[in-house]
């Protein structure tokens, strides 16, 4: 049985502490990935919440021998996709708007830090943002979350070859965008290696 299986088993028996344990363990990496995909703090928190609600609902169906982080990523990516194509444009109630502004103000310090960050880092992130949803997800799972291509294929429920080609084309697209930028020429590209 996988380590997560132990907590899942306890969650199935109605142990709230097990649910809290899983939340403590996986909320941060999952939130990080969703935030990188959506670039919206409020949406990231909503999606994180919904992903864990689904974990609670489907705990009985999950395989105890497998880690749950890839499953959580799959759920969160599907929810992010829904948010990007549908919910983002949906009319929001006043309460939701107030909530969104509250979260934005909470994260204002982070946003200010982001602005102060290295301009080239911002350019990389802007280039990633311009990628298609599928390519962006692969880039985030591979570079930010550190999943292997086999794990990415499992998360996205696609063949390994598809995951490989998505990563390849995403890299190519990033290269094209970044190399056309004056900041990414010559020695500049090597600078972060020393840090």
Partner 1 sequence: MNRCRPESTFRDSFDQWIAWSLRSAFTHAEPSPEVWDKLQQRVQTLERTACERRSKRTKPLLSRAPSIGHWLKFVWQMVDEHTVSSEAIWSPISPNARLAHALCYRNASLWLASWPVLNKWMPIY
> What is the contact surface with partner 1 in residues (CB under 8 A)?
16, 19-20, 23, 27-28, 31-32, 35-36, 44-45, 48-49, 52-53, 56-57, 103, 106, 110, 114, 117-118, 120-121, 124-125, 128, 139-140, 143-144, 171, 174-175, 187, 189-195
Q: How far apart are CB 106 and partner 1 at their closest, in Å?
A: 6
DSSP string, the chain: --HHHHHHHHHHTT-HHHHHHHHHHHHHHHHHHHHHHH--HHHHHHHHHHHHHHHHHTGGGS-TTS-SHHHHHHHHHHHHHHHHHTGGGS---HHHHHHHHHHHHHTHHHHHHHHHS-HHHHHHHHHHHTS-HHHHHHHIIIIIS---HHHHHHHHT--HHHHHHHHHHHHHHHHHHHHTSTTSSGGGGGGGGG-
Q: How far apart are CB 65 and partner 1 at their closest, in Å?
A: 25
Closer residue to partner 1 (CB): 42 or 153:
42
Q: How far apart are CB 34 and partner 1 at their closest, in Å?
A: 9
Closer residue to partner 1 (CB): 65 or 111:
111
Closer residue to partner 1 (CB): 111 or 160:
111
Closer residue to partner 1 (CB): 86 or 186:
186
């Amino acid at each position: 049985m996988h380590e997560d299986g132990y907590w899942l088993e306890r969650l199935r028996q109605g142990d709230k502490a097990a649910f809290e344990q899983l939340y403590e363990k996986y909320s941060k990496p999952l939130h990080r990935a969703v935030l990188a995909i959506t670039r919206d703090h409020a949406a990231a928190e909503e999606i994180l919440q919904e992903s864990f609600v689904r974990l609670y609902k489907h705990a009985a169906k999950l395989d105890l021998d497998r880690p749950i982080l890839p499953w959580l990523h799959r759920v969160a990516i599907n929810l992010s996709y829904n948010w990007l194509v549908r919910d983002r444009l949906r009319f929001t109630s006043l309460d939701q708007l107030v909530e969104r502004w509250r979260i934005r103000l909470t994260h204002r310090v982070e946003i200010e830090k982001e602005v102060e960050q290295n301009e080239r880092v911002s350019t990389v992130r802007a280039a990633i943002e311009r990628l298609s949803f599928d390519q962006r997800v692969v880039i985030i799972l591979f570079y930010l979350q550190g999943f292997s291509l086999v794990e990415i294929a499992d998360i996205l429920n696609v063949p390994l070859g598809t995951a490989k080609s998505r990563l390849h084309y995403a890299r190519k697209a990033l290269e094209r965008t970044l190399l056309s930028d004056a900041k990414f020429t010559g020695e500049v590209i090597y600078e972060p290696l020393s840090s």
